[in-house]
Amino acid sequence: MFGNLLAGIRARWPEFEHETRRRAVRGGIVAGAAFLILALTGAASLSLVVTFAVALALYVPAWNRLPRGRWVVVIGVILIAVLYPFYQANMFEMPLFGGFPSVDTGVTMLIFIMMALGLNIVVGYAGLLDLGYVAFYAMGAYTAAWFASQHFSGKNVHFGSVGVNPAAPGIHISIWPVLFIAAIFTGVVGVIIGFPTLRLRGDYLAIVTLGFGEIMPQVARNGDNLFGQNLTNGPQGINPIDPPGFGDTLNNATGLPADYLTFNTTFLGHDVSSVELFFWTALVLVLFTVFCSVRLRDSRIGRAWIAIREDETAAAAMGVPLMRTKTWAYAAGAFFGGIAGAYYASFKSGTFPDDFFFNISIFILCMVILGGMGNIWGVILGGGFLAYLNQEGLGNIGGWLNRHFSGASTSSDKWFTIWPHDIDVPLYQFGIFGVILVLVMLFKPEGLIPSERRKAEFREGVADEPFYDVQH
C-alpha cells in the first residue's frame, strides 16, 4: 500500500514538478503583489507572513497531480478552519475589510455555506432554478422550534434535553435527533412541493418556486392561528430554543460538552466557550454536506442530474425518470436546507418569520452563482464571502470608508472629504450584492471557481429543446 503510493508519486513526479514550476511563478507574482499592498497599508506582522506561507504551501505544489495529493489541500483547509478560533484574534488587519471575521460570524458563514451547498445540488447539479429555497430553511428552523422549546406547552416530552428544567412544559428533544428530524421533514416537504412543481421547466419552475418562497414567511407570520392551532407563534416567533449539548450522561461517559451555553474551558491558552463549540459543530455539518455532495455528484443519481441539466429529452430517452430524479434533487437540497435551518435556530436560540423573507433565497442563490455553480469549492467560497459581507464585512467597509472620506470623520486616518456625512453602507446591502452579481455575470458568468462542465456550458450553451406533451 505504502510502496504503491511511493511508486505512484515517483511516476507522476515530472508532471508534478512541471506544474509546480508554473504555479510558483504565477503564485509568486500574485502573492508578492498582495503582500506588498498589505504590508504597505500597515498590515505587516508575523500573522501576515504565516498566512502567505500557508496559502503558498497549499497552492504552489501541484498536489492534485500526485496520487492522493488532493487530500493535502482538503486536510489543510479543514485544519485552517478547525484552528480558526485559536488564531483569529492574532490575525492582521486588512485594508478596507478590517479584521478577520469573528468566530460568531464564522458560525453564520458556515451555516450559509451549508445552505448554499444544499441549493447547489438543486441549481448546480440538476439545473433547476429554485427561487424559494428559503422555505426549506424556515421549515428546518420551525422544526427545531417545535421539538426543542416550550412552544407546545400543553405537552411535556423530554428526551435528552439540555439546559431545561425536566419539569418544564413543552417538547424538549436533544438537538441531534432534532437536526435529523428537521432534515427528514424538510426532505419530505421538498418531495411534496416538488411533485406538482417539477413538471414545469425553466422560467415557469422559477416562478412557482418564487411563489413558495413568498408564501412561506407569510405562513410563518400568520401561523399563530392556523385553523385554531398556534404553529409558529406569529410575528413574535418562537424563543427560546433549547441549546445544543450532549447532556450529563454523555458528558460523563465521553467528555463531550453537556450544554453549549454554559460550557467554558481553556485549551491551548485560549478560552473555549459556547461560540467555539457552535463553530466546530457547524464545521462538522458543513463537512457532512460536502461529503454527501461529492458522493452524490459522482454517483448514478449525480450523473442523471447532470444529464437532465444538459438535455432533458435525451436523458429521458436514455431511461432517466425525469420526475423522480428531479424530485430527488429537490429533496436532497431541502434535506441540507432543513439541517442548516434547524441548527441556525438553535444557534440564535429562536426563530422569527422575518428571517425567512424572499431576499434570503436570492442571497443564497447569489452565493451559488458567485462561487461557481456545481463546484463545491466555489460554492464554499461564495457562501462564506457573501455571508461574511452581510454579517460584518459591509459594516467594516462602511467604517473604513467613513473614517477616510466622510466629512464627519474625526479620525486621524482621515484622508479627504468626499461625502459630508457618514454613510450607512450595510443599508445598501442588496444594492451592493446586486452590483456584485451583475459584475460576476458580465465578467465571469461561470463563477469564481467554476466546474469544468459549467464553464463549457456558459460558453457554448446547452442543447435543450422542450418536450411538447410528455406525461411524466
Residues that bind another protein (CB under 8 A): 291-292, 295-296, 299-304, 306-307, 310-311, 313-322, 328, 331-332, 452-454, 456-457, 460, 462-463, 467-472
Nearest-approach distance from CB 31 to another protein, in angstroms: 33
**DSSP, res 45:** S
User: Which pairs count as long-range contacts for 78-86, CB under 8 Å and 24+ apart, including other chains?
Assistant: 78/283, 78/287, 80/54, 81/283, 82/280, 82/283, 84/279, 85/270, 85/272, 85/275, 85/276, 85/279, 86/268, 86/270
Q: What's the rounded Cα separation, in Å, for the pair 269 and 431?
A: 42
CB closer to another protein out of 311 and 422: 311
Q: What's the rounded Cα separation, in Å, for the pair 124 and 367?
A: 11
CA-nearest of 22, 116, 17, 29 to 449 is 116
CB closer to another protein out of 328 and 385: 328
* Partners of residue 77 on adjacent β-strands: none
CB closer to another protein out of 325 and 390: 325
Nearest-approach distance from CB 424 to another protein, in angstroms: 44
Q: Which residues have CB under 8 Å from 283's CB, separation 6+?
A: 78, 81, 82, 110
Nearest-approach distance from CB 193 to another protein, in angstroms: 17
The residue type found at 382 is G
Nearest-approach distance from CB 471 to another protein, in angstroms: 6
CB closer to another protein out of 413 and 460: 460
Q: What's the rounded Cα separation, in Å, for the pair 113 and 287?
A: 10
Nearest-approach distance from CB 446 to another protein, in angstroms: 12
Q: What's the rounded Cα separation, in Å, for the pair 58 and 31?
A: 13
Instruction: Confirm if 85 and 279 have CB atoms less than 8 A apart.
Output: yes
Nearest-approach distance from CB 123 to another protein, in angstroms: 16
CB closer to another protein out of 283 and 307: 307
Nearest-approach distance from CB 378 to another protein, in angstroms: 16
CA 201, 206, 211 angle in degrees (round to 5)?
130
Q: Which residues have CB under 8 Å from 166's CB, separation 6+?
A: 158
Instruction: Confirm if 282 and 110 have CB atoms less than 8 A apart.
Output: yes
Nearest-approach distance from CB 463 to another protein, in angstroms: 6
Query: How many other β-carbons are positioned within 10 Å of the β-carbon of residue 295?
Result: 11
CB closer to another protein out of 228 and 461: 461
CB closer to another protein out of 278 and 330: 330
Nearest-approach distance from CB 13 to another protein, in angstroms: 22
Q: What's the rounded Cα separation, in Å, for the pair 302 and 376?
A: 14
The cell numbers describing 1, all together, are: 500500500
Q: Three-state SS for 415?
A: coil
Q: What's the rounded Cα separation, in Å, for the pair 245 and 260?
A: 5
CB closer to another protein out of 427 and 462: 462
CB closer to another protein out of 179 and 315: 315
CB closer to another protein out of 26 and 472: 472
Instruction: Confirm if 134 and 357 have CB atoms less than 8 A apart.
Output: yes
